[in-house]
């Protein structure tokens, strides 16, 4: 494990730069999960994610000559912003290599702190390979996002802050990608109170670390695909895996549907914008993957909030459809004056609010003289939607 003193030293080093983020009880989530849930809101960190802790601690421990030459890093976004911010604080040049698919909001976030951005590779691992080669050619110090003791020590400071607020903790739930966050947190937790369970949550679309943990040896994935881009790591680090095998009690996984529902839950019920990677712990509790923690005091790390707005809009739209607050249906009408008015009048009488309507009379599946009308409506739940369908069946617009 990372030595506790190293984590305490990191905390003293970064405390004037890093925000001691809020740690608060989540009553509604606690009711659903059957345990006392507390959220550590690293989505409210200065750069929008916990990565600032490890990045700042690493750059702070470099020699003056290393800082003069500059640093390079590979990241899907959060580590990139942490390195860029930290380098700027030390007046150090920073070059960040990001995958070509990185959301614009994260690229702009890195550039805002004065770093140079290079887009290379289709995923983190390809960007990593490019960054390593680039650093060697240009004599830059590589700042690894997780496979570095100073970085892990910085991430472990989260555990110190949590235990300072909640001494009666029974378990802590941590997102897992490369394993740096959980390595640092688990090292601190087990050194202070070995009885506290440390549980990792990974994305099913990026299974390498969980598979490696289960089989107790490094196993890489052929590819990764998940909306939790912050933990979409293809290859397993032997170093962080060794830490996890020594100090982590369990690792479970959640799929993209579960992650999306957690993002929407945190937005609607907790008023928090949390990205996919940061939402996996809440997803595990919402979908009862951690029922063995019933009645326990459980801390959940919300690791970041740098959410791609385009993806968020899709998640919200799908969430409204799944929760029966939006409804889409298509009916066939006789293409003559008054047909559409009668159809919409029925919807008005049922208090369905039409937000979008499309009229198609050219589809080859239609008989001449007919038209398809597709409507998107705001509705008041499952029973309201059933009422609408029954009325349209009665009027002959839909089949039973």
Residues serving a catalytic function are: 51, 303
* Residues paired with 204 in a beta bridge: none
CA distance 394 to 400: 9
Spell out where the chain has E strands: 23-25, 36-41, 71-74, 94-98, 116-119, 141-142, 171-175, 197-203, 250-254, 297-302, 326-334, 353-360, 370-378
CA distance 168 to 157: 18
CA distance 202 to 190: 21
* DSSP at 76: S
CA distance 293 to 315: 28
Enumerate helices (H) and strands (E) in the chain, giving the number of each: 16, 13
Name the nearest CA neighbour of 61 among 99, 108, 12, 27.
12
Name the nearest CA neighbour of 21 among 161, 175, 163, 159.
161
CA distance 371 to 386: 24
């Amino acid at each position: 494990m990372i030595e506790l003193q190293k984590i305490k030293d990191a905390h003293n080093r970064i405390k004037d730069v890093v925000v001691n983020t809020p740690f608060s009880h989540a009553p509604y989530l606690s009711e659903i999960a059957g345990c006392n849930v507390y959220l550590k809101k690293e989505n409210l960190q200065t750069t929008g994610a916990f990565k600032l802790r490890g990045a700042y601690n690493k750059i702070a421990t470099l020699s003056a000559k290393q800082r003069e030459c500059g640093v390079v890093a590979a990241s899907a976004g959060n580590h990139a912003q942490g390195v860029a911010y930290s380098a700027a604080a030390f007046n150090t040049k920073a070059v960040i290599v990001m995958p070509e698919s990185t959301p614009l909001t994260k690229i702009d976030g890195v550039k805002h702190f004065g770093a140079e951005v290079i887009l290379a590779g289709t995923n983190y691992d390809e960007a990593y390979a490019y960054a390593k080669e680039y650093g060697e050619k240009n004599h830059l110090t590589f700042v690894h996002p997780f496979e570095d003791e100073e970085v892990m020590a910085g991430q472990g400071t989260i555990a110190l802050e949590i235990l300072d607020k909640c001494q009666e903790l029974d378990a802590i739930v941590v997102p897992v990608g490369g394993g740096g966050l959980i390595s640092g947190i688990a090292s601190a937790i087990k050194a202070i109170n070995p009885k506290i369970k440390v549980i990792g949550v990974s994305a099913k679309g990026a299974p390498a670390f969980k598979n490696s943990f289960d089989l107790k040896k490094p196993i890489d994935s052929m590819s990764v695909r998940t909306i939790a881009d912050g933990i979409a790591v293809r290859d397993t680090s032997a170093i962080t895996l060794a830490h996890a095998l020594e100090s982590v009690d369990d690792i479970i996984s959640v799929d993209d549907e579960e992650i999306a529902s957690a993002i929407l839950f945190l937005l609607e019920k907790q008023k928090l914008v949390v990205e996919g990677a940061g939402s996996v712990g809440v997803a595990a509790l919402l979908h009862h993957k951690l029922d063995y923690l019933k009645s326990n005091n459980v801390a959940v790390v919300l690791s970041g909030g740098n959410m791609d707005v385009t993806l968020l809009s899709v998640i919200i739209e799908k969430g409204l459809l799944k929760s029966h607050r939006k409804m889409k249906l298509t009916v066939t009408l006789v293409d003559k004056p008054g047909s559409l008015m009668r159809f919409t009048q029925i919807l008005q009488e049922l208090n369905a609010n039409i937000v979008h309507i499309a009229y198609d009379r050219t589809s080859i599946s239609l008989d001449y003289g007919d038209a398809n009308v597709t409507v998107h409506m705001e509705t008041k739940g499952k029973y309201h939607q059933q009422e609408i369908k029954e009325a349209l069946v009665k009027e002959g617009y839909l089949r039973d």
